[in-house]
Amino acid sequence: MKTIFEKSQTGKCALSIAACDVPEYRLEEGILRQEDARLPEVSEIDVVRHYTALSKRAYGVDDGFYPLGSCTMKYNPKLNEEVAALPGFTGIHPLQCPRTVQGALEVMYRLSEKLAEITGMDQVTLQPAAGAHGEYTSLQLIRAYHLDRGDTQRNKIIVPDSAHGTNPASASMAGYSIINIPSGPDGCVDLEALKAAVGKDTAALMLTNPNTVGIFEKGITQIAKIVHEAGGLLYYDGANLNAIMGTIRPGDMGYDVVHLNLHKTFSTPHGGGGPGSGPVGCKKALAKYLPGPIVVKTQEGYALSESSEKSIGRVKTFYGNFLVALRALAYIEVLGKEGIKQAAQLAVLNANYMMARLKGKFPTHSSKICMHEFVVSCEEIKKEIGVSALDFAKTMIDRNMHPPTIYFPLIVHEALMFEPTETESKATLDWACDTVLELLEEAYRDPEAFKKHPCSMPIGRPDEVTAARKPVIIFGRDSD
């Protein structure tokens, strides 16, 4: 397919501007362009066809099964898109006087209340723009908490070896050093290793639950006790909240701070790099360090409270990605308490159904019941016939299935991590399982042919390392 620049023809134009009926104003010389911007010259229909063709090359949740583990690629009700497009919400400005944006303030207030309730936290900020940003914000809260108590030695963050890469990355960016602790044979935190790791220098343990292999950390109250007795805090990576929302709360498990990924759990289409939202909730003891302002309810209506003197300061302009928050509120209000719980239960049921069907053929990381996702390993298959997790993923593309997450978590070799989510029907799950099992037979029948997939795509197997390290993102220029 040609790029829009290659389709450019001098003189073509996609727009016509009405004649100017106000006096012309000329910008100062110093800020004028020296030469014309290098823009493609194309007609309106060229633009429409170009981007329509491009959009057909993309694969999204609305196209088919998308079991990308850890990402919760569930169906996002279109109703919430309509809500987020209402002019009363899209046409306002963050610098407007609070009196004139009471509805928007109410959205933020109500969502914060709901998220506090769902997580068992006391106070929530909606500012962070993504999960990783929420992690970073939380680590700043944790630092502020310790320093404020005169506890200045706590410079280490403990992270299990199964953690998502953003956990150690955020901790490192926040200036902490990282202690990795191994998982036990059951995929859960090894309590003895944790006991050995905590001490006077422990700032916090970062832990998602269910963890990244899809197993609920049953020892969580003990884990909390170990960390707290050492003077550290417990941080909840909320990316896996979809498995437990409405049934159990991080606050009740002993967590002190959480981040949520509204774009995963609460109805914002994601995966294409669009806006996300990573609200942070915390217990009372940390609330004064939260970024401000926070929406409060007064007798005269909703208002913005100045942040406390001890606040870590803003982490994002204005109030975060407001329209993502709005979708989340719509989603939570529509589902209600029971609906939220049912969504989590169905997510767990769907994952277990798939795992049960694949289990005999692929070794799974857990022999027990999984939560909302599960990990199978292609290690044995690779040893036997040389076919890897990557080969399976690439072949699924030819079967109109988005591949699961591969090679994560790192503790499982040749991992395929499936998260079917609650919005898939039994028929779709059966189709997916049949397809994966057929692929397994196909791999054994002809391993060499199997490794040539995908065959139905414009490109098959790009050099992903070079593409990531030396991306060529400007047309007509080589990378350097």
- Which residues are near ligand PLP by CB under 6 A? 70, 130-132, 164, 166, 208, 212, 237, 239, 261, 276, 278
What minimum distance in Å lies between the beta carbon of 332 and ligand PLP? 18
The residue (of 293 and 404) whose beta carbon lies closer to ligand PLP is 404
- Which residue of this chain has its Cβ atom nearest to ligand PLP in the complex? 131
What minimum distance in Å lies between the beta carbon of 265 and ligand PLP? 10
What minimum distance in Å lies between the beta carbon of 276 and ligand PLP? 5
The residue (of 268 and 307) whose beta carbon lies closer to ligand PLP is 268
What minimum distance in Å lies between the beta carbon of 35 and ligand PLP? 39
Contact 324, 263 (CB under 8 A): yes
- Contacts of residue 175, defined as CB under 8 A and 6 or more positions apart, other chains included, come to 143, 155
What minimum distance in Å lies between the beta carbon of 144 and ligand PLP? 22
| Token pair recorded at residue 430 | 């059966």
Please count the other Cβ atoms lying within 10 Å of the Cβ belonging to residue 174: 17
The residue (of 131 and 291) whose beta carbon lies closer to ligand PLP is 131
What minimum distance in Å lies between the beta carbon of 98 and ligand PLP? 29
- Order across the sheet with 280-282: list the strands: 123-125, 280-282, 257-259, 233-237, 202-207, 156-160, 177-181
What minimum distance in Å lies between the beta carbon of 321 and ligand PLP? 11
Cis ω for the linkage preceding 210 (within 30 of 0): yes
> Which residues are paired to 418 by β-bridges?
68, 374
What minimum distance in Å lies between the beta carbon of 164 and ligand PLP? 3
Sign, CA torsion 449/450/454/456 = positive
The bridge status of strand 301-305 relative to strand 294-298 is: antiparallel
Q: Name which of 330, 289, 249 is nearest 145 in CA terms.
A: 289
Alpha-carbon Rg for the chain in angstroms: 25
The residue (of 165 and 313) whose beta carbon lies closer to ligand PLP is 165
Instruction: Report which residue type is found at 186.
Output: D
Residue 41 CA to residue 10 CA, distance in Å, equals 6
DSSP state of 60: -
Sign, CA torsion 249/253/258/262 = negative
* CA angle at 45 for the pair 43 and 49, rounded to the nearest 5°: 120
